[in-house]
Amino acid sequence: MSDNQESTLPKGFFLKPAREGSPDWVKGQIGIKVEDAIVYLKENVNDRGYVNLDLKESKGGKLYLDLNTYVKPTTDDGIPF
């Protein structure tokens, strides 16, 4: 996804920064609302059975998840480059 494309924030997934006093190796928390996440995952599964999410940082420094919509380029015959 290029920088000028609209973000596709996954429903049911929530990121929080690490709690104060957490060790340096703890970067944050991910909360998953199961019912919403299952629906979202089923709606966005790719042909290989995966939903790929990118962990990004906003201009304001907040972390967020974004649906990775990259599709590997193929020839006119559908053969990957």
What pLDDT digit, counting tens, does each position of 7-41 carry?
Answer: 688 999 999 999 999 999 998 999 999 999 999 99
Which residues are registered as beta bridge partners of 63?
A: 57
Please tell me which residue, 76 or 46, carries the higher pLDDT value: 46
Separation between Cα atoms, residue 18 and residue 41, nearest integer Å:
25
**pLDDT of res. 40:** 96
Comparing 6-15, 38-47, 53-62, the range with the smallest average pLDDT is 6-15
Q: Locate the DSSP E strands across 1-81.
A: 13-17, 28-32, 53-57, 63-67
Supply the pTM of this predicted model: 0.71
Separation between Cα atoms, residue 15 and residue 31, nearest integer Å:
6
Let me know: does 64 contact 24? Beta carbons within 8 Å.
no
Separation between Cα atoms, residue 44 and residue 40, nearest integer Å:
6
